Amino acid sequence: MDTVEVAYESCAEIIERCYAEGWTDGLPVVPATTELVDRCLAELGWNADDVLFHAPVRHIDVPAGKVVVNAILAGCLPPHIPVVAAALRAMEHPDFRANVPVASTGGAAPVLLVNGPARDAIGLNCGGNLFGPGHRANAVIGRALRLILLNCLGATPGVLDLSIQGWTGKYTCCFGENESLSPWAPFHVRRGFEQTTSTVTVLACESPHNVLTRVGDLDADTLLYCAASVVGGLGSHSNGQGYLILSPQHARVLADAGYDARSVQEHLFEASRRSIAELKRSGRLDGRVEIGDDSRTRPRGETPDDILLAVGGSENGCCSAWFPSWSRGRGSIAVTAEIAPDGVVLATNPGPTVAPGTG
Amino acid sequence: MNTGLPMTITDTAPRETLASPRLDRPTDAPRLAPAVVRSAALIIGVLSNGKPNADHVIDAVLDRLARAGTIGRIERVTKADPSLPATAAELDVLASRADVVLAAVGDCGSCSSCLVSDTVELERRGAPTAVLLTGPFVPVAGALASLRGYPPLRVVAIPHPVADLDTEGIAAFVEIAAAQVAALLFDATE
C-alpha cells in the first residue's frame, strides 16, 4: 500500500499533511497510520487486497485496505465499517448506476437508510435530529463513503463530480429508521427482509424537502394534502423514487386514521399527479402544451413502491422529509444490501430507464 | 492566503507512516494506441452517445474529414443510453473494424464520464480514439485517464452548450474541431 512519511511535533502537523495530500473532504481527518489500518483490518478479519467494490464505468477495483483507510480518515471505528462495505455493495448493483449520480451535474448524495439491529449496535441515531449532527455513526459512515468516492473514484468537485450546486448531504447522509416508534412494519421488512436482519438502503437523492404541519388537532387528510404537494412538487417531479421519512407523530396520525404503510404510499402516489400541461410548462417534460394535456396526468414515480416510506425523528413535533431521487428521470434506483459479508442485495423493480435531459 | 498552520519541525521530531487513501499507482503504465497513416481507405469508427446534436456534430466533422480525403468507410455505433458505457460488444466491433474512432459528444457530467471511459476502453483495445467534449467537461478526460494510469487522451474541446445549436452554430467550430481530430488521429510524420 502506498504510504507517506510525516515528521511531527504535534498532531496538527499530521492533519495538515493530510490536507496537503488532498485526502480530505474539507474537514479534518483522523490520520490513518499504517499501524491503525493493520489493527482495523485484523479486527474486521479482512485481507487488505480483497476487492470490496468494483466501480462501474471507471473500471476500478477498491480493495478492503483502501476502504479501511478512508473509513479511518472519516472517523470510523471497526463496527461502523461493515455498514460502509454493505453500502458499497448496494452501489455496485447495476441498477444503482453508481457513476451517474456521482458524476452528474444534478448533485446527488448517496442517502443511506439503515434498518435492523445494527442501528443500536453502532449507536446510529434514528430519533431527534437524525439528519443533523451529534452522533458519531451517522457522521462517519456517510463520510467514509464520500471519502472513498473522492479518493478512490476521483470524484473531485469540478473534475469528475460536476455538481452544479451539490448539497451538504454529500459530506455525509446516513440515518436509521425509528422502528420502535413506527406504527408499521420496518422499511426493510416490507422489502422482504427479516426483522432481525440489518440492512442499508442507498438512494441517490436531492436535498430533503420539508413537510411541516401544525401540531395540534392535525388530521390525516390535512397531513396527506400537505405531503402530496411536496412529493408532487414540480421542481423535482419525475418518474423516479424518493424517501418519505415521516416523523413518528405524523406516522401516528395516519395510523390512527386507519392507514397502513401501503395505503399511505398508494394515496400519495395518486395525489402526487400533475397534469402533462403543468409538467410541460415547468420544463419537466419536453414539448408544447397540446389540447388534452390539462386533463392527462402523471404521478411521481412509476408505482406506489417508489415512495420509499420509513419513520424517523423524535416525537416532539410534526415535521417530515421528502428526499426526491436524483435525475429528471428514473436514472438510478434504491438498492438495499444486507449488512453481512456476501449478504443479499436487492434492487427495486422496475429498474432505471434512460434519463432524459441533463445528467 | 495562509495555506497551513505555522510549523517548526526539528530533525529529531518523531515520524509516522500514513497509509494513502488513494488507489495505489499501477505498476505498468498503459499507452495510447498509435496514430495511423492518413489514407483514403481508412475505416472511421463513430461512437455516438445520441445526445441532442451529437449526430449533427459528428456528421459535420465526418464531412470535413471526407473532404480531406481521409474516409473510406464509416462504422457507426449509437449507444442506447448516454449515461451508460458502451457495451463490450459495441466496443469490440468498433475496435476490430475501424482504424480510428471518433466519440461524441460529452456535454454533461454523467455522459462525459461514460464517453471518456469508452474512449479509454477503445484505446485499450488498440483503436486510436478522439473524443469530443464541451468545454466544461474537458477535465473529465484527464482525471479518468489518470485514475486508470493512462496518459492524456485525444480530446477535442467544443463550445458549450452544444445541444441547442443550429447548423450555423455547429459550422462555426467544426472546421477547427475536424482539424484537431485529424491531428490527433493521423500520423504527422508521413
Report the pLDDT value the prediction gives residue B190, as an integer from 0 to 100. 55
Q: Residue B138: pLDDT above 60?
A: yes
The C-alpha atoms of residue A201 and residue A272 are separated, in whole angstroms, by: 23
Asked if B22 and A33 come within 8 Å (Cβ–Cβ), the reply is no
**To which residue does cell 434498518 refer?**
A115
Asked if A57 and B17 come within 8 Å (Cβ–Cβ), the reply is no
pTM for this predicted structure: 0.89
Cβ atoms within 10 A of the Cβ of A120, count? 13
What string of H, E and C letters represents the secondary structure of B42-62? Answer: CEEEEEECCCCCHHHHHHHHH
| Mean pLDDT taken over chain A | 94
The contacts of residue B3 (CB under 8 Å, 6+ apart) are: none
Helix (H, G, I), strand (E, B) or coil at A199: strand
List the grid coordinates of A105. Answer: 451535474
Report the pLDDT value the prediction gives residue B188, as an integer from 0 to 100. 72
Count residue pairs from A and B with Cβ separation < 8 A: 164
A359 lies within 8 A of chain B by CB: yes
Which of A57, A60, A68 is best to mutate for the B interface (most B CBs within 10 A)?
A57
Asked if B111 and A160 come within 8 Å (Cβ–Cβ), the reply is no
Min CA distance, A144 vs chain B (Å)? Answer: 11
Q: Name which of A75, A112, A70, A76 is nearest A91 in CA terms.
A: A112
The C-alpha atoms of residue A303 and residue A324 are separated, in whole angstroms, by: 15
The C-alpha atoms of residue A171 and residue A189 are separated, in whole angstroms, by: 29
- What confidence category does residue B2 fall into, taking pLDDT thresholds of 50, 70 and 90? low
What was the ipTM of the complex prediction?
0.92
Which ranges of chain A would DSSP assign to H, the alpha helix? 11-20, 34-44, 64-74, 81-92, 99-103, 118-122, 136-151, 187-190, 220-231, 248-256, 261-271, 276-281
Task: Give the residue-averaged pLDDT of A25-32.
Answer: 98
Report the pLDDT value the prediction gives residue A153, as an integer from 0 to 100. 93
Helix (H, G, I), strand (E, B) or coil at B98: coil
The C-alpha atoms of residue A248 and residue A320 are separated, in whole angstroms, by: 9
Asked if B24 and A1 come within 8 Å (Cβ–Cβ), the reply is yes
Q: DSSP letters along B133-186, please?
A: EEGGGHHHHHHHHHHTTPPP-EEEEE-S--TT--HHHHHHHHHHHHHHHHHHHB
Q: Name which of A76, A59, A44, A79 is nearest A145 in CA terms.
A: A76
Q: Which amino acid is at B16?
A: E
Phi and psi at A269, nearest 5°, equal -60, -45
Q: How far is CA B5 from CA A17, A24, A142, B1, in A?
A: 10, 16, 28, 11
Nearest CB to B17 within list A3, A99, A152: A3
Residues 329-358 of A with CB under 8 A from B: 331, 354-355, 358
A156 lies within 8 A of chain B by CB: yes
A286 lies within 8 A of chain B by CB: no
Q: Is A105 exposed, middle or buried (0-12, 13-18, 19+ CB in 10 A)?
A: buried
Residue of B nearest to A3 (CA): B19
Task: Give the residue-averaged pLDDT of A126-133.
Answer: 98
Nearest CB to A8 within list B13, B84, B136: B13
Which of B2, B12, B23, B140 is best to mutate for the A interface (most A CBs within 10 A)?
B23
Report the pLDDT value the prediction gives residue A358, as an integer from 0 to 100. 37
Q: Name which of B174, B186, B182 is nearest B59 in CA terms.
A: B174
DSSP letter (8 states) at residue B85: P
Cβ atoms within 10 A of the Cβ of A175, count? 30
Min CA distance, B66 vs chain A (Å)? Answer: 31
Residues of chain B contacting residue A7, judged by C-beta atoms under 8 Å apart: 9, 13-15
Min CA distance, A174 vs chain B (Å)? Answer: 21
Q: Residue A340: pLDDT above 90?
A: yes
Nearest CB to A162 within list B18, B24, B109: B109
- Are the beta carbons of A174 and A119 closer than 8 angstroms? no
Report the pLDDT value the prediction gives residue A328, as an integer from 0 to 100. 80
pLDDT digits 0-9 by tens, A49-62: 999 999 988 889 99
Which of B10, B11, B22 is best to mutate for the A interface (most A CBs within 10 A)?
B22
Q: Is A55 exposed, middle or buried (0-12, 13-18, 19+ CB in 10 A)?
A: buried
pLDDT digits 0-9 by tens, A83-103: 999 999 999 999 998 888 888
Report the pLDDT value the prediction gives residue B5, as an integer from 0 to 100. 64
Residues of chain A contacting residue B16, judged by C-beta atoms under 8 Å apart: 5-6, 8, 14, 31, 33
Residues of chain A contacting residue B86, judged by C-beta atoms under 8 Å apart: none
- What confidence category does residue A115 fall into, taking pLDDT thresholds of 50, 70 and 90? very high
Q: Residue B56: pLDDT above 50?
A: yes
Q: Which amino acid is at B190?
A: E
Asked which of A97-111, A206-220, A259-273, A303-317 is least confident by mean pLDDT, the reply is A97-111
pLDDT digits 0-9 by tens, B84-118: 899 999 999 999 999 999 999 999 888 999 999 99
The C-alpha atoms of residue B26 and residue B38 are separated, in whole angstroms, by: 33
Helix (H, G, I), strand (E, B) or coil at A123: coil
List the grid coordinates of A141. Answer: 459512515
Asked if B21 and A147 come within 8 Å (Cβ–Cβ), the reply is yes
The C-alpha atoms of residue A160 and residue A102 are separated, in whole angstroms, by: 8
- Are the beta carbons of A267 and A225 closer than 8 angstroms? no
Asked which of A83-87, A101-105, A232-236, A238-242 is least confident by mean pLDDT, the reply is A101-105
List the grid coordinates of A160. Answer: 469528475
**Percent of the residues in chain A that have a pLDDT greater than 90, as a whole number:** 84
Asked if A58 and B113 come within 8 Å (Cβ–Cβ), the reply is yes
Is residue B78 within a helix (H) or strand (E), and if so which, with residue range? strand B73-78
A218 lies within 8 A of chain B by CB: no
- Say what the alpha-carbon torsion angle A65, A69, A75, A78 is, to the nearest 10 degrees: 20
**To which residue does cell 486508470 refer?**
B148
Rounded to 5°, angle at Cα B137 from B134 and B142: 120
What string of H, E and C letters represents the secondary structure of A234-256? Answer: HHHCCCCCEEEEECHHHHHHHHH
Residues of chain B contacting residue A156, judged by C-beta atoms under 8 Å apart: 143
Q: Residue A303: pLDDT above 70?
A: yes
Residue B153 C-beta-side C-alpha neighbours within 13 Å: 36
The C-alpha atoms of residue A161 and residue A99 are separated, in whole angstroms, by: 10
Residues 232-261 of A with CB under 8 A from B: none
Task: Give the residue-averaged pLDDT of A26-48.
Answer: 97
Residues of chain B contacting residue A170, judged by C-beta atoms under 8 Å apart: none
Min CA distance, B175 vs chain A (Å)? Answer: 27
As beta bridge partners, residue A59 has: none
- Are the beta carbons of A169 and A109 closer than 8 angstroms? yes
Altogether, the residues listed in chain A come to a count of: 359
- What confidence category does residue A359 fall into, taking pLDDT thresholds of 50, 70 and 90? very low
